[in-house]
Amino acid sequence: MRHALVCGLRVRDGRHEEGTENAASREAGVIQHKGVPMKTALAVFVSVWVSAGPAWAMLGQPAASVLADQQRLHAELRTMATDGYTVQQIEVADGTVVREYVSPAGLVFGVAWQGPKVPDLTQLLGAYFPVYQAALPAPVRRRAPVVVHTEALVVEMSGHMRAFAGRAYVPSLVPSDVAPEVIQ
């Protein structure tokens, strides 16, 4: 009669029965394993994966959120002041570059990005994300550029694997002396 302990089950001549470790199996180096249930492991993995993504300043939010993003992501931040607005550029280690356009009032009025992947648009667009979703054409073609133009929001993006670029801005927040074409 053969005995083996496999994943906490004792196998006896092809029949499985629940059992505990015995001295013979301990000596043979077979260890009973009571693992974590698969659903629990999957839930933990997904929650860690989702929370690990980068965060960016949101459209319409104060410029201070850009500095918090830079510190949290350990990213390089460059600030470029021009007439009528400031550009704060965050570059992350994976090569993604996000430029956040800040008005003299201190609000982010536009964002532009380029990099190997599309950043999390729910984070970038913030409260404007539902406007974006509602304005998307019903069948979104995979390889075609995405263009959304509404009174409240403009989003344009295109690209292919490992080379994406886009921009989004709120027309009502763009300073009057700034042309939307500067958001690139």
At residue 182, φ and ψ (nearest 5 deg) are: -70, -15
pTM beyond 0.85: the answer is: no
Region 23-43 average pLDDT: 49
Region 24-53 average pLDDT: 45
pLDDT at residue 26 is higher than 90: no
pLDDT digits (tens, 9 = 90+) for 129-165: 999 999 987 777 777 899 999 999 999 999 988 899 9
At residue 41, φ and ψ (nearest 5 deg) are: -60, -40
Distance CA 182, CA 98 (A): 14
pLDDT digits (tens, 9 = 90+) for 68-97: 777 776 788 899 999 899 999 999 888 999
Predicted local distance difference test score (pLDDT) of residue 161: 86
The residues spanned by each domain of the chain are 3-49, 55-182
Q: How far is CA 43 from the centre of its chain?
A: 17
